[in-house]
Amino acid sequence: MTRIVVIGAGISGLATAYAIEYLAGHAGLEVETQVLEKLDRTGGKIHSIKDQGYICEWGPNGFLDNKPMTLELCDRLDIAGQLLRSDDNARKRFIYSEKMLHRLPENGPSFLKSPLISWSGKLRLASEMLIPKRRDGVDETLADFGRRRLGAEALNKLIAPMVSGIFAGDPETMSLKSCFPKIHSLEQEYGGLIKAMLRLAKKKRAEVKEGKVVASAAGPGGILTSFNEGIQELSDGTAKALAGELRTEAGVAKIEKKEGGYLLLLEDGSQLDAELVVGAAPAYAAANMLNELDNAAAELLHGIPYATMNVVCFGYQQDKIARDLNGFGYLNAKAEGCNTLGTLWDSSIFPNRAPEGHVLLRSMMGGGTNPGAIDLSEDEVKARTMADLKQIMGIEAEPDFVRIFRHRKAIPQYVVGHSQRLQQLDERMAQYPGLFLTGNAFGGVGLNDCVNSSNLVAEKVIELLKAR
């Protein structure tokens, strides 16, 4: 029986422990897993808070169904039947620019008709076909890539809002190659984004004609998916399915190497032996645990910055909102100088998010471009959010329900040099067989990314056990 300790009971740690148990069972390997969590609850950033008939997501509100990993996990957990796809109206997404909300175009004809981008900006976008690909191998920022290939207007009105919506990041510092590796590879393979779209569309038509693929109704971006009682059902379901022990309020202070494995020193002064260890804590927490074992690895982990974030939930009586909330919500263009990054119309995305006759709006404030927002008073956060909602949506009323959640270290930032940092980290960790790292600081920040990374590290654990 091999004892495997997973540090961290966010979705990365829970999914890793479950995948290890699942793969070990199919391989005929006997393992004893133990998950240690510093907090008094599981789920990490996943937390669906139920209050006065509202369901407020403390962190992420779902995952996209265009990738298989999380759907497969739900199947194995026998909770796939409880999945809840977002309303079709959630496909309608908006950008606030030049003092008005513009629906984000979904195809070529709607893009040409949209006033979001000026005609000069559209011509600049069309000229992207004439721009040669970058060949110098430089780890380019998203902002530099946007200006170079698409123009300054597209950077401000399309790229910057997207980066704030996914990473809460600053495009002037974020790495294209690390944040959007597919876009980087499309330029390198096809010479440009429009050329890539044309070539891929032609290939897809040919495959459909030959019967090799069937066009997906989910669309290229997939459908946002959650559960009736919130996305916490995913982490709760994973925790419940574990065969091994799960301990909360069991923070790890230090990891030491010992004969035949590792010694974990817990914050309460106790110790725990393990033959294999998977660190699934945030990068800064893992750095503290590894500081004495490998200071160089710890420094690399400490070098991964995190964006701050205030999540502001406002509940209103529906008749106090004059604007049509038929959509997903909006992100703010960089040049508008808003207090918030954007607002999701949560009760329009999923049912059961607000009491009957009420609506729930969830605004994001802070991020890489406004780190000081985390230190604002609750009254100031509320006032600034209300000011934005009045300016953007015309909401004059006071909210009937207010909840503000603060994340001092919300989302890891894949800044320029991130891929090189991860390569150096892999080289350091290779010196410690049986010690692994996973989580959203490395292979993507979304739920699908976390589950995928968990599956990959679980496969490495099983390969090591088979080789013994």
Give pLDDT, residue 189: 93
CB within 8 A of 331, min separation 6: which ones? 93, 94, 95, 96, 161, 162, 164, 165, 341, 342
Low-confidence ranges of the chain (pLDDT < 70): 210-221
Instruction: Looking at the structure, give the CATH architecture of the domain made up of residues 306-412.
Output: Alpha-Beta Complex (3.90)
Q: Where in the chain is the domain with CATH 3.90.660.20?
A: 306-412
Q: Where in the chain is the domain with CATH 1.10.3110.10?
A: 117-209
Q: What pLDDT digit, counting tens, does each position of 64-105 carry? A: 999 999 999 999 999 999 999 998 878 899 999 999 999 998
Whether 225 and 63 have beta carbons less than 8 Å apart is answered as yes
Give pLDDT, residue 208: 74
Q: What pLDDT digit, counting tens, does each position of 310-339 carry? A: 999 999 999 999 999 999 999 999 889 999
User: Which pTM value belongs to this model?
Assistant: 0.93
As given in the structure block, the two tokens for residue 106 are: 């979904």
Q: What is the CATH number of domain 2-40+230-304+415-467?
A: 3.50.50.60
Q: Where in the chain is the domain with CATH 3.50.50.60?
A: 2-40+230-304+415-467
Give pLDDT, residue 213: 47
β-strands 48-51, 31-36 pairing: unpaired
Q: What pLDDT digit, counting tens, does each position of 260-272 carry? A: 999 999 999 999 9
Whether CATH 1.10.3110.10 fits 117-209: yes
